[in-house]
Structures are given as structure tokens and as C-alpha cells.
Amino acid sequence: MEMKGFVELSGLYKIIELIAPRLPYHNYEHLVDVASSCNRYAQMEGVNYQNTLTLVAAGLLHDIFYVIGRKDNEEISAEISNNILSHLGFSQKQIEEVARLIMATKHQGDPQDLLEMIIRDSDLDSLGRDDFFERSEHLRKEWKIDRKEWYIQMQPTYLSQVRYYTKSARERREDKLKKNLEKIRNLKW
């Protein structure tokens, strides 16, 4: 069976809304944000329709399971995605591809192909946007980290290591990522 089209993905959106984590950062809004970025970057990078649908599904499901401090969130999210997608009529090949893309959001090693690059860039898209500080505060609160430690130690180190892989993400987000990093480095305590 061919992967369902965007209209038919509305069922997946409804399921995600019901079962998404309810954390300050890892929540329905984050999942939809990543899925939207996957769609945008796939179009900008010339990805075909079926692969774009796969990316959107993976974006919606990549953090469907998230427990702070666990090292296997992606693995469990991939398992949950298998169950959801099989009930929605996705083929085994499509399910495996979504799971592979979810595992790429573990951010270990370099992406192996364009689809992995796109989902990685999409997961980090907010780091190079105007809403970075708002989103960063949600994550800081979720992880219960002291504000000073977050902005003096953790965020500068992390942001200086972030790399966007696709040409589209580099063009759209790298400059703002650098500006956000500079703002953090200039914070007065």
C-alpha cells in the first residue's frame, strides 16, 4: 500500500495530539513544529512526495515517547511508531523507514542520507529562529536546570557545536543560530 497522502495523515495528527508527551518542550507543539520543518526542507531540497510524507510522519513521531534522562527515547518512539503506523495501514517498508529516521534524531554521528539530514535539521530548526529563547526556556524548565548554568555553560557549548546539514537549513538558520549564540554569550548576570 502506498503511503497515505497529507489529507489522510490527519488521522496521525489526531493520534499524536492525544498521546504526545505533555512536557514544557517535548509536547504536541514540538512534534508538529518538527513535522512542519521536515515538510518545508523536503520541498526546498527537492524530495519526492512519498519521501516527504515519510519525513512528516517521522517528524510527528520522533519524540512520541520522551522521559527526561532516558537514553532510549528514540528507540521507544520508533517502537511506538511501528504500532501506530501499522494500525493506520502503512507498509512494513514505510514503517521501517520512519523508524530509521526517528533514530537519526538521536544525533549520534553524521546523517547517512538527505532524509536523515532533513530530520536532523528539522529537530534543531528552532535554534536558528527568532523563537529560540522562548523554546530554550521551555527545555530548561523541562530539564529543571538553573538559568545561570543553562545560559552560561550549557547553551553556549551546545550551540557552538550545532551543525545544519542541508543547504536549505544552512541558508535559513545558520546566521540566526550565530546571532542567538552571540546573544547568550553577551548576557549579563
Judged on CB neighbours under 10 Å (0-12, 13-18, 19+), 77 is: buried
What's residue 2's pLDDT? Answer: 45
Judged on CB neighbours under 10 Å (0-12, 13-18, 19+), 188 is: exposed
Distances in whole angstroms, Cα of residue 47 to Cα of each of 39, 94, 119: 9, 16, 12
pTM of the predicted structure, to 2 decimals = 0.94
| Residues 96-109, mean pLDDT to the nearest whole number | 96
Count of Cβ atoms closer than 10 Å to residue 12 Cβ: 20
pLDDT over 70 percentage in the chain: 96
Q: Is the pLDDT of residue 5 over 70?
A: no
Query: In this structure, what C-alpha cell is assigned to residue 166?
Result: 542541508
The amino acid that residue 82 corresponds to is N
pLDDT single digits (tens) 74-83: 999 999 999 9
| Residues 151-171, mean pLDDT to the nearest whole number | 97
pLDDT over 90 percentage in the chain: 90
- Name the pLDDT band for 8 (thresholds 50, 70, 90): low
What's residue 188's pLDDT? Answer: 85
Q: Cβ neighbours of residue 66 under 8 Å, at least 6 residues apart?
A: 21, 23, 26, 73, 77
Q: Cβ neighbours of residue 145 under 8 Å, at least 6 residues apart?
A: 154
pLDDT single digits (tens) 44-72: 999 999 999 999 999 999 999 999 999 99
What's residue 1's pLDDT? Answer: 34
3-state secondary structure of 181: helix
| Residues 30-41, mean pLDDT to the nearest whole number | 98
What's the whole-number average pLDDT of the chain?
94
What's residue 3's pLDDT? Answer: 47
- Name the pLDDT band for 123 (thresholds 50, 70, 90): very high
